[in-house]
Amino acid sequence: MIKMTELTKKFAGRDFLTLQDFTPDDLGLFIAAARELKARQKAGTPHPLLAGKTLAMIFTKSSTRTRVAFEVGIHQLGGAGLFLSERDIQLGRGESIADTARVLSRMTDGVMIRTFSHAEVEELARYATVPVINGLTDYLHPTQALADLMTIEEHKGRLAGLKLAYIGDGNNVAHSWLIGCSKMGLDISLACPAAYEPAAEILQAARANAAASGGRVSVGREPLEAARDADVLYTDVWAGMGQEEETSKRQAAFKGFCLDAAALAAAQPDAIVLHCLPAHKGEEITAEVFEGPQSVVFDEAENRLHAHKAIMALLMG
């Protein structure tokens, strides 16, 4: 059993904006804390580590898993979550991010934000005096990646030395996967259509991480080549929130980039399948694979709760 109080001393007051800000050992401690909190919750053992504390939750993008994980999570930790949409706060009517950050810092113990612009999250963190958690931007999705790493470790017993294949858009999830895999010593192979590759600076950072961790990073155009001998197969929707007007264009560009039976056959026989959800079955993943015995998608979804609780407990404790 890990000592949560010791971890809280190590991480208290820090922001969680990108996995790049943490060492591999740090990320391993977050995962260990998440697994500990999951075990306590499953055993029915109360763990009010944030009793009396409040998390402000800013949402300018709609959400299912992120909102439920943080709101239920802070409740299970003994605190309270305050949902704030653009319609609920003055941020949506012209109040500056800096002023919002300073006001919320006087009244709450932490801020989670799910929005479009990563620069807004960075500005919020710059002015806030309480921990800021990046619940998703168009650039990164670090809380998702942490839960995914936890899920892989649960099912495979380790992280370093495994291969993850990512098929689809080089988007915010792909960016956080590049950072997460390269930090933790996994090989990551992406198959993306032309013009939909990850950002160059993310690839540069991932390759530098991999050089230190022993992992490998590759990006190509062939889904089956990416999937070859993979231990983990991953995909995401072709058109995310805010990209709805690009749906037809993206459907044409991503034709053939589907996580299907052929991709599964190219992977290791015991490969697991992940998807951050929501899923468009028949587009980026077939229903057969999504609902198949190698899919751990709903274990992954549940682990959002436990991973997010670990982030809150360690930063806000």
Tally the residues of the chain: 317
Active site residue 236: yes
Please pick, among 35, 40, 65, 144, the residue that the annotation labels catalytic. Answer: 144
Count other C-beta atoms under 10 Å from residue 85's C-beta: 14
Residue 225 CA to residue 165 CA, distance in Å, equals 9
- Would you call 299 a catalytic residue per the annotation? no
Catalytic residue chosen out of the listed positions 35, 47, 114, 118: 114
Q: Answer for the pair 79, 57: CB distance below 8 angstroms, yes or no.
A: no
DSSP code, position 295: B
The β-bridge partners of 114 are 59, 136
What residues pair up with 220 in beta bridges, in sequence order?
191
Q: Determine which one of 65, 118, 175, 304 is catalytic.
A: 304
Which residue among the candidates 141, 175, 250, 275 is catalytic per the annotation? 141
Can you give the three-state secondary structure of 42-81, one letter per residue?
Answer: HHCCCCCCCCCCEEEEEECCCCCHHHHHHHHHHHHCCCEE
* Active site (annotated) includes residue 155: no
Per annotation, catalytic residue among 236, 258, 260, 275: 236
Report the greatest alpha carbon distance in the chain. 54
| Cα angle, residue 185 at apex, residues 163 and 317 outer, rounded to 5° | 120
Helices marked H in the chain — which ranges?
Answer: 4-11, 24-43, 65-76, 97-107, 118-127, 142-156, 172-184, 200-213, 223-227, 247-253, 261-266, 287-290, 297-316
Residue 304 among the catalytic residues: yes
CA distance linking residue 12 with residue 311, whole number of Å: 10
Which of the residues 76, 169, 276, 306 is marked catalytic?
276
**Distance in angstroms (rounded) separating the CA atoms of residues 291 and 40:** 29
Is 273:292 a contact under the CB 8 Å cutoff?
yes
CA dihedral sign, ordered 306, 299, 187, 219: negative
Query: Does 228 participate in catalysis according to the annotation?
Result: no
Please say if 258 is a catalytic residue: no
Q: Which residues are catalytic?
A: 114, 141, 144, 236, 276, 304
